[in-house]
Each structure stands twice: as C-alpha cells, then as structure tokens.
Amino acid sequence: MNERNITRAYLETLSFADLVSLADEYGVDVPDDLDRRFLIAELLELAQEEVEQDDEMIISSETEGNGSNLPGNYNETQISCVLRNPAWLFVFWNINENDLSALKDLPGALKLRICFLKDTTELVPEEVFEIQASTTTQEQYILISSDKTYVRVELVYSTATGGKVLAFSQIVTIPHGAELVNEMQPGSYDNIPQILKLSGMENSLADQYRKHRHSFS
C-alpha cells in the first residue's frame, strides 16, 4: 500500500468496489450503504496515518543506531543494591571513564563498604565493614547480618593513606521475621507451638538448612 500514491484524485478514479477492496487491505469493514465520499475521506485518513507511522519507525531506527555508540553504563559512576533475601544483598555498580582513568594512576583497590544504620535519617553508620569488589564483573552478592535494620553500600577506592567514596547506594530496609522463628535452630524445635508444627514449619526449616546452610550463623 505504501507504493501507491493514495490521493483524493486517485481515489476518485476507483469504483466503489475497488474502494471497498482497498479499505479491506487496511482492515476496515465497509457497510454496503456507506456514502462514497465518506469512504474516500476514511481512506485518505488511514493512508496519512500509515505514512506518519512509517516516518516514526525511521526516526526510531536512526536513534537506535546512534545510541549504539554510547557506553554500556552511559558513563556514570553509580552503585545500587537490592535484597535477594534477608540474608543476601545483591550489589551492582558502574564507573565512568574519567574516574577509571584517574584510578589507574593510584596505588589502591576498589572496595565495597557496607554500612549498617539505625535509622534512615542517620548519616553516620553504627557498623561498617569493607570487602574487595569483584574485578571481573560489576556485581556481587554480600552476606549481611540478620540483626540489622538498614543498610547502605558505598563504592570506595581505598589506598594506604585513605579512601575516596566514588558513589553510594540508596538505603535498603532489611526485613525481620517473627522472633520465635528467628531463634529456631536446625534440629532443635522443642519450643515450636503445636499449631506451627501442623503447618509444616519443622520441614520448612530443615529444608532451608539443607539448601542454604551458609545463611545460618
């Protein structure tokens, strides 16, 4: 249909049957008693819409082609984290070209600083520890303490004389289960209420320990 120059002059040369056939190509059902003038007006509108859609597709294609030259991380230094579960934190980060170039000249290492906070408004963490950041990927799983409530992760370049915070994540809330369940240890279920035993709690805890024993302290 795009190869035809659909104009009013062209449509006026067609019979009503040809107009109906053309409308059928556009997926339009035409009543037998439809006025010829209305059908021509409808076809002109559909043809115009098709031209506009084709133009949008061309523009979109050109934009995507230009975007292929952008760096994968859009040249930003940033770090984010999400909870995989209450025991494991998934951290991922990017470093822009300027920071990477500057860090190459420094004798240090890239680290992740895990900061536990008492409250979301606290600026100074109550507990901090650092781990070596992965050098092969820009993502990492971190085992976190189960007795903490809020956590933030900082991307730090650490040297012998100090460190520089390159970026820091949003604050993530660590969920907590019922105290009774948290204190249960594998193989010791004497304090489980009978109603919880009927729910299959013992089997669930045993299965969790077998598959994820590294999460137990």
Q: HSE on the CB side for 92, CA within 13 Å?
A: 5
**3-state DSSP assignment of residue 113:** strand
CA 136 to chain centre: 21
How far apart, in Å, are the Cα atoms of 79 and each of 49, 93, 145, 192?
Answer: 44, 4, 20, 41
Per-residue model confidence as pLDDT tens digits over 90-133? 999 998 888 888 777 778 889 999 999 999 888 899 999 999 98
* Listed range (44-48, 125-129, 158-162, 167-171) with the worst mean pLDDT: 158-162
Question: Taking the model in full, what pTM does it have?
Answer: 0.52
Q: How many angstroms separate the CA atoms of 23 and 43, rounded?
A: 7
Using only C-alpha atoms, the chain has a radius of gyration, in whole angstroms, of: 32
Per-residue model confidence as pLDDT tens digits over 154-164? 999 888 777 78
* Buried-state track 10-35, b at ≥16 Cβ within 10 A, e below 16: ebeebeeeebbebbeeeeeebeeeee
Strands 150-159 and 162-168: antiparallel
- 112 burial via Cβ count (<10 Å: 0-12, 13-18, 19+): buried
Per-residue model confidence as pLDDT tens digits over 22-37? 888 877 777 777 788 8
Which one-letter amino acid corresponds to residue 147? D
